[in-house]
């Protein structure tokens, strides 16, 4: 950091353009005329003066160098020369595709210079990051521009490596100003912070405003080359538009440097159709747009504007004042040698997105195991987080000492615990059933490394995807065929005329292997049936005209034969949901047909109003509460020790109260017939905190709870999904 007493600088035209860029943002200087913005064309004399001035200005004696190069229009010449040099250097490493040129940064002196600049910004404690917002925003673009005209001086500065950031800043003509100087000033709206003091900001149109770039159709055309332009303005409600063509396989980064304290500048980018591509609206200093490489030529529009809270809040008393005015700096960087990013998710190979640089970078070296996540280890010599040194470091699998990663296997001897998957796939380092046909006793090894028996090759094969699906045709209103699933999918298609009542049945024995089925309708609706019992059925009432796609597959790697049957107009009312059955319900488990209201085969088919199923009449009927009702809440709980005999869940859950002391154990057993309806039990303390539960699928639920504190406890006995059932209960406090 440059000491505060050395920060008062006079910026002349001979000094690097970003001197003005940076210092205008903190209002410590004035740059004379429009040429200083870097937006005006340069003459040959200006270019010559720029080269001399920039070189001299890169020395430690910046003022002397600046004076030596102070010719008229030097700054504009520097910009023009930088652009020309950058373009030439970029073209030197370009590849041609069609009529467009794909620009690739060459690894010559210019390319190495630029890469050195970027590396300094990525230093762990980079001095660049402690500089003011304008310096940070413009650092990359300024390096890219100045490397094209003064690579030797910049290479000398960057060769120092981390710790030499200030040398590079000086060579670029940048001066590190701490944002906190202005942050402490607390300037009122409309003022800018100049050298730590609040000064009214007077807004004037910038160079581009003369051409009227306040709408998309009048956007300023930018060339695809490095650009540094300072002192651009947004005067009360003004919007600036730019347009740029990005060549195929090229990347682009556009930075906007400003102080949010003066006004919050936001940016959006659009494609040719007007769709928003990316936007940046952080509410802090600076915004950035990044455009990763694409195979296509892209024409992109960029809109720059001041965010106004009054536009979003009509009750704001300042709404009539309009958006505040401000100034900003524009920086364009092209074809960065490292992948550009907005989020870490866009970086690969474990890299992180360095938000300050906007580049994907390797994670910082680790110094302890705690920095390497759950079960990770820090290899301190390399600074890498690894999985293991030996197999003992792996929770499962073995350690590959070449990569220090825990893997499933290194050889088949690591796969002996699995009777089926007992061969190691050395490429994938995982245990599989087979890697070649010779590993299979019967059949062949498929792409999933499973042995497919010869018997699996039913007549419809191959039909493993939509493209190879077997077409079904109706014969007398029925379409039916047999198949075999062996760890693959079987696909079928059928065409419906419209308004049929389709009943699609998959018939198989679940004990041999559980199969599932899904049906996709012509409008894309997915109807699936997944159960753990024999057969699957889907009803489609009033079928849409068009093609239906049917997928048959195993639950996991299941092998089973099946029959697929489709009835074109099934007898009865076909259904797939209860809503299609009026007051009745859909029998989705067996028939795919609507059942009449009140029909049941077991208690779980009934509701709370009539919770008991009369299996003789297949009708739901009301229940008779047990003698201890009402005890449906904690407030109505009865003493647990007084409950005996036949109990039931008629009317809802049953609550029982009991007291216990530390050292005692509460033992509660609930006995019932699970087939008639599942019952579960929970235990709560006086704060209604659950301390124990039993939610199994057998005929008994049991709780044993070691009491930790003297308290009142409540036992809740309830039917799963409000099912009705009868039960007996035994309670003991031991």
Three-state SS at 612: strand
- Which pLDDT does position 18 carry in this prediction? 30
CB of 711 closer than 8 Å to CB of 654: no
Per-residue pLDDT at 389: 95
Q: For residues 611 and 723, what is the distance between their CA atoms, to the nearest angstrom?
A: 7
Residue 122: which of 384, 338, 293 has the closest Cα?
Answer: 338
Question: Which positions of the chain have pLDDT values less than 50?
Answer: 1-106, 184, 310-320
* Bridging pattern class, strands 430-432 and 444-445: unpaired
pLDDT, residue 34, reads: 29
Cβ proximity of 505 and 535 under 8 Å: yes
Residue 232 placed within a domain:
no
Same domain, 432 and 482: no
Domain boundary among 135, 152, 183: 183
Are 30 and 178 part of one and the same domain?
Answer: yes
Asked whether residue 278 is domain-assigned, the answer is no
Helix (H, G, I), strand (E, B) or coil at 77: helix
Question: How high is the pLDDT of residue 458?
Answer: 80
Residue 263 lies in a domain: no
* Residue 54 lies inside a defined structural domain of this protein: yes
Which of 183, 209, 227 terminates a domain? The answer is 183
Q: What is the pLDDT of residue 24?
A: 28
437 and 385 fall within a common domain: no
Whether residues 582 and 642 share a domain: the answer is no
DSSP string, 350-388: T-EEETTTTEEEPPPPP-SGGGG-TT-EEETTTTEEES-
Tell me, what DSSP letter sits at residue 98?
T
User: Is the same domain home to 428 and 473?
Assistant: no
Is 282 among the domain residues?
A: no
DSSP string, 445-489: E-TTS-EE-GGG--TT-S-SSGGGPEEP--BTTEEEEEEEEESSE
End-of-domain residue from the set 183, 212, 242: 183
Asked whether residue 88 falls in the same domain as residue 142, the answer is yes
Residue-level pLDDT at 187 = 63
d(Cα 571, Cα 592) in Å, to the nearest integer?
11
Tell me, yes or no, whether 178 lies in a domain: yes
Q: What is the pLDDT of residue 423?
A: 93
The length of the chain in residues reads: 734
Residues 505 and 441 in one domain: no
Say what the pLDDT of residue 66 is: 30
| Cα-based distances in Å from 170 to 60, 65, 162, 244 | 7, 12, 15, 31
156 and 94 in a common domain: yes
**446 and 379 within one domain:** no
CA distance 47 to 137: 25
CA distance 281 to 286: 9
- Beta bridge pairs of residue 526: 520
For residue 222, what pLDDT is reported?
Answer: 93
**Alpha carbon distance 166, 62 (integer Å):** 13
Is the residue at 114 inside a domain? yes
Find the distance separating the first CA and the last CA of the chain, reported in whole Å. Answer: 74
With H, G, I as helix, E, B as strand and everything else as coil, classify residue 134: helix
Q: What's the pLDDT score for residue 538? A: 92
> Do both 127 and 52 map to the same domain?
yes
Give residue-wise pLDDT tens across range 382-415.
888 899 999 999 988 999 999 999 999 999 999 9
Are 403 and 482 in the same domain?
Answer: no
Domain carrying residue 124: 4-183
pLDDT of 19 reads 32
pTM (predicted TM-score): 0.41
Helix 165-172 with 133-158: angle, nearest 10 deg: 100
- Cα(196)–Cα(132) distance, rounded to whole angstroms? 13
Q: Is-contact 626 632, C-beta < 8 A?
A: no
CATH number of the domain that 716 lies in?
A: 2.60.120.380
Whether the CB-CB separation of 372 and 385 falls below 8 Å is answered with yes
d(CA 328, CA 232): 5
89 part of a folded domain? yes
Q: What is the pLDDT of residue 547?
A: 94
Query: What is the domain count for the chain?
Result: 5
Alpha carbon distance 430, 414 (integer Å): 9
pLDDT at 221: 92
567/490 same-domain check = yes
pLDDT digits (tens, 9 = 90+) for 627-676: 898 888 888 999 988 888 889 988 889 999 999 998 899 999 999 998 88
Q: What is the pLDDT of residue 259?
A: 79
């Amino acid at each position: 950091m440059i000491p505060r007493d050395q920060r008062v600088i006079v910026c002349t035209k001979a000094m690097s353009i970003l001197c003005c860029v940076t210092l205008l943002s903190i209002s410590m200087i004035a740059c004379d005329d429009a040429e200083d913005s870097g937006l005006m064309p340069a003459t040959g004399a200006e270019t010559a003066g720029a080269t001399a001035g920039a070189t001299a200005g890169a020395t430690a004696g910046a003022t002397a160098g600046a004076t030596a190069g102070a010719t008229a229009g030097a700054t504009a010449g520097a910009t023009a020369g930088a652009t020309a040099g950058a373009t030439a250097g970029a073209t030197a490493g370009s590849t041609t595709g069609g009529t467009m040129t794909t620009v690739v940064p060459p690894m010559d002196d210019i390319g190495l210079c630029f890469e050195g600049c970027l590396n300094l910004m990525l230093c762990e404690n980079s001095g660049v990051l402690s500089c003011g917002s304008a310096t940070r925003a413009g650092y990359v673009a300024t390096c890219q521009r100045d490397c094209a005209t003064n690579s030797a001086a910049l290479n000398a500065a960057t060769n120092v490596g981390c710790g030499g950031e200030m040398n590079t800043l000086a060579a670029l003509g940048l001066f590190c100003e701490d944002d906190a100087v202005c942050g402490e000033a607390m300037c009122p709206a409309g003022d800018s912070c100049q050298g730590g003091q609040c000064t009214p900001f007077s807004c004037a149109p910038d160079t581009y405003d003369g051409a009227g770039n306040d709408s998309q159709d009048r956007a300023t055309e930018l060339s695809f080359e490095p650009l540094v332009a300072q002192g651009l303005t947004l005067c009360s409600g003004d919007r600036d538009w730019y347009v740029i063509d990005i060549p195929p396989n090229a990347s682009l980064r556009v930075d906007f440097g400003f102080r949010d304290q003066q006004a919050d500048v936001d940016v959006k980018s659009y494609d040719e159709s007007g769709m928003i591509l990316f936007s940046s609206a952080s509410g802090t200093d600076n915004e950035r747009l990044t455009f990763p490489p694409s195979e296509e030529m892209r024409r992109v529009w960029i809109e720059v504007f001041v965010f106004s809270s009054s536009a979003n809040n009509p009750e704001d008393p300042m709404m009539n004042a309009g958006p505040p005015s401000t100034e900003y700096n524009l920086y364009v960087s092209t074809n960065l040698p490292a992948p550009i990013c907005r989020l870490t998710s866009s970086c690969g190979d474990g890299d992180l997105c360095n938000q300050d640089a906007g580049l994907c970078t390797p994670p910082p070296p680790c110094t302890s195991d705690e920095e390497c996540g759950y079960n990770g280890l820090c290899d301190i010599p390399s600074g890498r987080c690894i999985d293991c040194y030996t197999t003992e470091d792996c929770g499962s699998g073995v350690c590959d000492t070449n990569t220090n990663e825990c893997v499933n296997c290194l050889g088949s001897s690591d796969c002996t615990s699995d009777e089926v998957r007992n061969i190691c796939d050395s490429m994938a380092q995982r245990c599989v059933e087979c890697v070649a046909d010779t590993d299979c006793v019967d059949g062949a090894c498929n792409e999933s490394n499973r042995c497919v028996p010869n018997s699996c090759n039913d007549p419809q094969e191959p039909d493993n995807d939509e493209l190879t699906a077997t077409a079904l045709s109706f014969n007398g209103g029925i379409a039916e065929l047999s198949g075999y699933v062996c760890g693959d999918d079987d696909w079928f298609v059928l065409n419906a005329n419209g308004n049929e009542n389709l009943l699609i049945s998959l018939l198989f024995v679940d004990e041999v292997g559980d199969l599932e089925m899904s049906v996709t309708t012509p409008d894309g609706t997915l109807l699936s049936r997944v159960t753990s019992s024999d057969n699957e059925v889907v009803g489609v009432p009033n079928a849409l005209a068009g093609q239906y796609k049917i997928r048959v597959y195993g639950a996991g790697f299941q092998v089973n034969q099946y029959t697929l049957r489709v009835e074109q107009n099934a007898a009865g009312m076909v259904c797939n949901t209860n809503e299609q059955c009026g007051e009745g319900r859909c029998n989705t488990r067996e028939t795919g047909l609507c059942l009449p209201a009140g029909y049941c085969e077991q208690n779980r088919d009934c509701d709370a109003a009539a919770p008991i199923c009369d299996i003789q009449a297949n009708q739901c009927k009301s229940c008779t509460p047990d003698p201890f009702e009402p005890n449906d809440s904690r407030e109505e709980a009865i003493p647990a020790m007084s409950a005996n005999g036949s109990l039931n869940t008629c009317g809802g859950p049953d609550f029982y109260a009991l007291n216990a002391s530390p050292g005692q154990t509460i033992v509660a057993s609930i006995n019932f017939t699970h087939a008639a309806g599942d019952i579960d039990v929970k235990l709560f303390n006086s704060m209604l905190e659950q301390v124990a539960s039993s939610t199994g699928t057998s005929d008994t639920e049991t709780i044993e709870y070691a009491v930790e504190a003297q308290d009142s406890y409540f036992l809740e006995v309830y039917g799963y999904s409000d099912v009705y059932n009868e039960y007996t209960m035994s309670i003991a406090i031991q």
